[in-house]
Amino acid sequence: MPRRPPARPKDLRRAVLDASLALVEEGGVGALSMREVARRARVTHAAPYHHFADRAAILAGLAEEGFTRMRDALSAATRRQPRGTVARFEACGRAYVRFALEHPGHMRIMFRPELASPAEHPAVDVAASAAMQVLVECVAECQAAGVMAAGDSTAIVLTSWSAMHGLASLWIDGPLCRIREGAGSPEELARLVARTLGGLFTYPRSCTTSHSVSVRKSSSDRR
């Protein structure tokens, strides 16, 4: 009797993405191949091609999904804190690290454009911009509230993003994953780094009121 092909799952696209993510988490991006994805998803070798033209398309799908989930995680964390506060800014940073630790497979793909050409998969850049916009808006709200210096927020956004991303990377794949004993939990380290950034970029609470007054006074003097 001829052997029956594996049954196709109800959501083939989801099955392919889940199998691909598992392979990346277990063996890195190099472990991902169309044939191995099909085997892991328990579908025919041709089945993944119904939704993904090639390996790069799968990686692009995972990257887009990762950025979308990151946006949702950052938004959820910041919504728990009042607008225009240091607490909201720090919550955004902590949420970034927490997301990275919970989704290491996505993180190993999301920031490597060579894996999936942005020109061929523009949806990845759109999703990435939407995720970063959460931090951009958080900084803008702090500036509007007078707890951060007004002006171009580029330096604040880039420095904050780089610090939290660096911490997450050091924990997932870098030295911190090998010297964890005594380093503190990732949550503790994320809190420490986020608090440090908050102290660098925001005015001391005791100075916030006087700063806001001086800004308003300077504005009125120019009129």
The answer to whether residues 94 and 194 touch, using CB atoms and an 8 Å cutoff, is: yes
Burial of 200 (C-beta count, 10 Å sphere; 0-12/13-18/19+): exposed
- Beta-carbon neighbour count of residue 188 at 10 Å? 10
CATH code for the domain in which residue 105 is found: 1.10.357.10
Amino acid at the residue 97? V
Task: Give residue 186's domain range.
Answer: 63-204
Residues 48 and 68 in one domain: no
CATH code for the domain in which residue 15 is found: 1.10.10
pLDDT 10s digits, 189-210: 999 999 999 999 987 654 444 4
Question: Can you tell me the distance from the alpha carbon of 206 to that of 213, in angstroms, rounded to the nearest whole number?
Answer: 13
**Residue 213 in domain:** no
Could you tell me what percent of the chain has a pLDDT over 90? 74
**What pLDDT does residue 205 have?**
52
Handedness of CA 167, 181, 187, 23 (dihedral sign): positive
pLDDT 10s digits, 37-65: 999 999 999 999 999 999 999 999 999 99
Q: What is the pTM of this model?
A: 0.84
Q: How many domains are there within the chain?
A: 2
